[in-house]
Chain A
Amino acid sequence: MELNDELDYFPDRGSQWTSQLETSNWLEVAFDRLSTEQRAVVEMTYYQGLHYSEISEIMQCPENTVKTRMFHARKILAKILPELGGRNSI
């Protein structure tokens, strides 16, 4: 099986594909700096598109705790992402 055959399976080829791969890598690095709870809140907000009240229900914690976790997560991400994602101008 040739490498070119494998590339056919990916949605985008060339520079767009490599930039997506880079984004994926630095997001992984950034997310690793978050606590499990903070990461859960971020993922449920941005991946799943859930409201904070729904997240509080899922995580069985007060709504304010969800907001606080997101607040701290944003602070950490804001600190890390400009360094890691400088090339991607976030």
Chain B
Amino acid sequence: MTLTQIKITSKSEHQEVWDLLPWYINHSLDPAEQDFVRRHVKTCVTCRVEINQQQQLLEKIQQQDLLQQASQISFAQLKKRMNEQSKLRSVFAEQAKLSQEQKLFSHQFLGFVKYNALAASLLLLAMPLMLNLPTDDPELKGDYRTLANPAEGEHKNNSIRVVFAEHLGAEQIKAILNGVSGHIIKGPSKNGIYEVQIGNRQTNSLEVNDAISQLRKNSLVVFAEPSHQLSSSD
């Protein structure tokens, strides 16, 4: 009777412990339950084998959990890199679009240049004819001025720059200039350039041009040009 009772008690104990094993392994049992399981396991081989198996299962499951976390992290990093790449790609696309537009523009520009080169060459052919026209219109001469340029008019219109032959003396120079109603207002510079005013304030550009052409005809004059056309060489 006593033996049967013991046997029954131990069977129900084994069943009870068997049911508690997963929580014994995850260490969530309260101390009393833990002691109860520990005492039983000391004498029960079946439970020890089961504990071993459940322990391995727990480790595998936790490994998988780590794996999932790692894969989530790696996926997040991959996503981040993909986003960065897509950002870069959009920047490159914009740059490519810009360069394509530039190419298109240069294409159009080249076409434009090609057709205009023909017109320009025709213009160049017509230039000598245009230059011979006695005109002072700065627009036609392609002359332009900015605010930085000296104001047009007054004596500047009448001033010319002249370079005489090297061996010429002051008296000879004076004589040549007198012939065109000119007088030195500046010079000679280091390079032997004289700034000469032709006539007075009333002298018009036609008279200045005549003076220049007369000077050019003189073999003792090396160079004669209106000053305002040479302002950049000041």
Q: Report which A residues bind B (CB closer than 8 A).
A: 1, 6, 9-11, 20-21, 23-24, 27, 42-43, 45-47, 49-52, 54, 67, 70-71, 74, 77-78, 81, 85, 88, 90
Contacts and interface: CB of A to CB of B under 8 A. Distances in A.
A53 to B, nearest CB: 9
Interface string B19-41: 11011001111100000000000
Contacts of A78: 53
Question: By DSSP majority rule, is chain A's interface helix, strand, loop, or mixed?
Answer: helix
Contacts of B63: 20, 23-24
B28 A50 contact: yes
A24 B61 CA distance: 8
Interface residues of B, number: 32
A47 B62 contact: yes
Nearest 8 pairs of A and B residues by beta carbon: A9-B74, A51-B28, A46-B61, A67-B19, A49-B26, A24-B64, A90-B56, A45-B22
**Most chain-A CB neighbours within 10 Å: which of B23, B53, B65?**
B23
Contacts of A11: 66, 70
A74 B74 contact: no
Contacts of A71: 18-19
Given A9-B73, A70-B19, A81 B57 contact: yes
A46 B62 contact: yes
Given A9-B74, A11-B70, A27 B64 contact: yes
B81 interface: yes
Contact of A45 (B18, B23, B68, B85): B23
Contacts, number: 74
Given A45-B22, A45-B26, A51-B23, A27 B74 contact: no
**Most chain-A CB neighbours within 10 Å: which of B29, B67, B74, B78?**
B67
B61 A27 contact: yes
Contact of B27 (A49, A70, A74, A85): A49
Contact of B70 (A10, A51, A77): A10
Nearest to B61: A46
Contacts of B65: 47
Nearest to B22: A45
A82 B30 CA distance: 31
B97 interface: no
28 contacts: A1-B81, A9-B70, A9-B74, A9-B77, A10-B71, A11-B66, A24-B64, A24-B67, A27-B61, A42-B22, A42-B61, A45-B23, A46-B26, A46-B57, A46-B61, A47-B61, A47-B62, A49-B28, A51-B28, A51-B29, A54-B28, A67-B19, A71-B18, A77-B57, A88-B60, A90-B53, A90-B57, A90-B60
